[in-house]
């Protein structure tokens, strides 16, 4: 089979467009000397954590969440790099108090939010919370509009380290301005708080969010489906594949401290093992934030092994922060390529079709070229060793043909390291 030489097409990667962001990560030595919080530097690699929404929606409470925090540690997730324990919508009482302050729902959190934040911190984790730029959150709880500075001060007093900020009930608000206001309010607290912008990609946040927040959602909400979107009447849940495809044209905007966020993980929530493995791998290939969204207390060994695959996580967390580009292959197979530091790279073969396929390829028949990262590989005169990141074993070199079965909705992921001849 020699299809590759002529047919591999890179869809992306002609121009580097980092100008928009280059200012955001700069700081002066004066700032450092003054001990100021250096904005735009809170997420040099994609943030990793857990978020309550995908499994629990607003049905959360202190006791079950404390159990979840405990499993976050005992399951090895903390040790694998997950850091943020984030409460999504539904944590607060339905009304602000007489002073206009948000309060934690007293039934769900009888000891208050500061006590819960302290518990999260006592386990060596960081604490995240949710609100919304509008008058109400998406689930109808009090929103932040008009209360930005006081809410930010409250969060800082509780020890919040991460704020997810949604976009429901915003009427005529100007999107970048609303997020700028909250970003300034967070910065004014003096506490480093990662700002997670969640306006679903409708206002192209990749063009303006660098320096305002560290991550920004790029699509509508993910649903529990690998291939097809699910229509719920007034909204459409995005499948893994549909979200993946939407990342292609915005790849160039992704990078340290300004991450394209393709939404939280559905791993462990009901897709097949191969689909979960593919979903996780593809998010790592995208250099995406990794927010587990499953019930940690009930996760199977398989789910835990996916979420804590350290070699796969290392691809996500690679210091260069470059998102993968896609190459099309014969027979509807795809190859996603992520340039890494030290001239290494990750290659993820994806079979998004409904039937099993065979990969049968001679590496030396093709080249890889990516203007954005400067990647230029000619496999006929450069050798790489192959490490299979799911079998967790070495898999020979690129001097031999690669022949493998790849099941429907499966991925095979290799890390390639240069070998001196």
- Enumerate the β-bridge partners of residue 335: 327, 349
- Provide the 8-state DSSP code for 324: P
The pattern of x and - marking residues 206 through 235 that bind ligand GLA according to CB under 6 A reads: ---------------x--------------
Q: Kindly write out the interface string for residues 348-367 of this chain, putting x where it contacts ligand GLA by CB under 6 A and - elsewhere.
A: --------------------
Tell me if 230 sits within 8 A of 186, measured CB to CB. no
Tell the smallest beta-carbon distance from residue 13 to ligand GLA (Å).
29
Which one of the listed residues 166, 261, 263, 318 is annotated catalytic?
166
Place of tokens 């970048």: 176
**Set 151, 221, 261, 318: catalytic member:** 221
Q: Which residues pair with 278 in a beta bridge?
A: none
The kind and range of the H/E element at 233 are: none
Considering only residues 109 to 148 of the shown chain, the ones binding ligand GLA according to CB under 6 A are: 137-139
313 membership: H or E segment, kind and range: helix 310-316
Nearer to ligand GLA, 109 or 366 (CB): 109
Q: Is 238 exposed, middle or buried (0-12, 13-18, 19+ CB in 10 A)?
A: buried
Structural tokens at position 147: 């209360």
How far is it, in rounded angstroms, from Cα 214 to Cα 162? 10
Answer for which of 53, 165, 216, 253 binds ligand GLA (CB under 6 A) is 53
Q: How many amino acids of this chain bind ligand GLA (CB under 6 A)?
A: 10
Give 87 or 152: the residue with its C-beta nearer to ligand GLA: 87
In whole angstroms, the minimum distance from the beta carbon of 51 to ligand GLA comes to: 8
Quick one: 11 or 235, whose CB is closer to ligand GLA?
235
CA 39 to chain centre: 20
Helix axes 112-122, 62-74, angle to 10 degrees: 10
Token representation of residue 194: 């990662």
Please give the residues from 146 up to 185 whose contact with ligand GLA meets the rule CB under 6 A.
166
- The CB-of-344 to ligand GLA minimum distance in angstroms stands at 33
Applying CB under 6 A, does 198 fall inside the site for ligand GLA? yes
Q: Taking the complex as a whole, how short is the minimal distance between the CB of residue 86 and ligand GLA, in angstroms?
A: 10
Which of 200, 336 has the CB closer to ligand GLA? 200
In the range 72-91, which residues lie near ligand GLA by CB under 6 A?
88-89
Active-site residue, 221 included: yes
- Name the residue nearer to ligand GLA (CB basis): 193 or 377: 193
166 catalytic residue (yes or no): yes
Residue number, 198 or 290, with CB nearest to ligand GLA: 198
Please calculate the CA angle 225-227-228 and round it to the nearest 5 degrees.
80
Rule CB under 6 A: say whether 265 interacts with ligand GLA. no
Cα separation, 359 vs 37, in Å, equals 50
Q: Which residue is nearest to ligand GLA (CB)?
A: 138
CB count within 10 Å of CB 21 equals 19
Asked if 266 touches ligand GLA (CB under 6 A), the answer is no
Least separation in angstroms between residue 192's CB and ligand GLA is: 22
Question: Which residue stretches of 94-209 are H helix?
Answer: 112-122, 148-158, 175-188
Describe the chain by its helix, strand, coil percentages, rounded to 5: 30, 25, 45
Residues lying near ligand GLA in the complex (CB under 6 A): 53, 88-89, 137-139, 166, 198, 200, 221
Q: Which residues are known catalytic residues?
A: 166, 221
């Amino acid at each position: 089979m020699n299809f590759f030489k002529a047919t591999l097409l890179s869809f992306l990667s002609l121009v580097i467009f980092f100008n928009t962001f280059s200012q955001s990560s700069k700081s002066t030595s004066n700032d450092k000397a003054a001990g100021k919080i250096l904005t735009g530097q809170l997420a040099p690699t994609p943030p990793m954590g857990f978020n309550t929404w995908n499994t629990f929606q607003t049905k959360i409470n202190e006791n079950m969440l404390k159990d979840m925090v405990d499993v976050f540690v005992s399951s090895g997730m903390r040790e694998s790099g997950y850091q943020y324990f984030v409460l999504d919508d539904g944590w607060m009482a339905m009304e602000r108090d007489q002073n206009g302050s948000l309060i934690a729902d007293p039934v769900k959190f009888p000891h208050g939010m500061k006590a819960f934040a302290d518990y999260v911190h006592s386990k060596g984790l960081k604490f995240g919370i949710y609100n919304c730029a509008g008058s109400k959150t998406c689930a109808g709880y009090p929103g932040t509009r008009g209360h930005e500075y006081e809410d930010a001060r409250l969060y800082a007093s509780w020890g919040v380290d991460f704020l997810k900020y949604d976009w429901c009930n915003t009427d005529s608000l100007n999107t970048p301005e609303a997020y700028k206001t909250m970003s300034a309010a967070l910065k004014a607290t003096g506490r480093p708080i990662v700002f997670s912008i969640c306006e679903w990609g409708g206002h192209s946040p990749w063009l303006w969010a660098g320096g305002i927040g560290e991550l920004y959602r790029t699509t509508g909400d993910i649903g529990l489906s690998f291939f097809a979107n699910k229509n719920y009447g007034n909204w459409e849940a995005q499948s893994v594949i549909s979200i993946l495809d939407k990342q292609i044209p915005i790849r160039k905007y992704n990078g340290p401290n300004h991450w394209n966020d393709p939404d939280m993980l559905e791993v462990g929530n009901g897709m097949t093992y191969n689909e979960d493995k593919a979903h996780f791998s593809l998010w790592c290939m995208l250099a995406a934030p990794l927010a587990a969204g499953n019930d940690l207390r009930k996760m199977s060994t398989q789910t835990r092994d996916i979420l804590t695959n350290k070699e796969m996580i290392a691809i996500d967390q690679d210091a260069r922060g470059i998102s993968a580009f896609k190459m099309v292959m014969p027979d509807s197979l795809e190859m996603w390529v992520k340039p890494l530091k030290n001239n290494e790279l990750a290659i993820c073969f994806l079979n998004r079709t409904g039937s099993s396929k065979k990969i049968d390829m001679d590496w030396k028949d093709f080249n890889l070229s990516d203007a954005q990262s400067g990647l230029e590989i000619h496999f006929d005169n450069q050798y790489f060793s192959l490490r299979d990141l799911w079998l967790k074993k070495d898999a020979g070199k690129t001097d031999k043909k690669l022949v493998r079965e790849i099941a429907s909705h499966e991925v095979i992921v290799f890390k390639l390291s240069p070998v001196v001849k």
